[in-house]
Amino acid sequence: MTTTVAVLLEPVFGTPTGASYVSDGCITAIDKITATNEGATVATATVQLLSPDGTQTVSFTKSLAPGTTWSFPDVVGHTINAGGKMNVISPTANAVKFRASGRKFT
């Protein structure tokens, strides 16, 4: 088995439908994920992990004041099976920027 350290999500704004990372052809371990509210008002940040069939396995939500960052400690250590997905969601446009890194096992 080969392990590759990788950026899973480059800094990307969350959207109401969710920006996604797909664990394509590998198992992915999440080592770090941060959400920063770059907006002028309080915004909600959500991280969802989905199984390969699209079923939501876990969801974590945090309300962020302007200018604050949250590291989603409950997400760290979770794995995403091949074909599974991580969605990052924020209903406020151009407010919450997410970044994630981890390891891919092939």
Instruction: Indicate the domain borders of the chain.
Output: 3-105
- pTM across the whole model: 0.91
pLDDT at residue 1 above 90?
no
Would you identify the CATH topology of the domain 3-105?
Answer: Jelly Rolls (2.60.120)
Question: Which pLDDT score is estimated for 45?
Answer: 96
| CA 59 – CA 4 distance, rounded (Å) | 25
Q: Is-contact 39 66, C-beta < 8 A?
A: yes
Question: Which pLDDT score is estimated for 93?
Answer: 84
Q: Is-contact 5 106, C-beta < 8 A?
A: no
Instruction: Report pLDDT digits (tens) over 8-49.
Output: 999 999 989 888 999 999 999 999 999 999 999 999 999 999
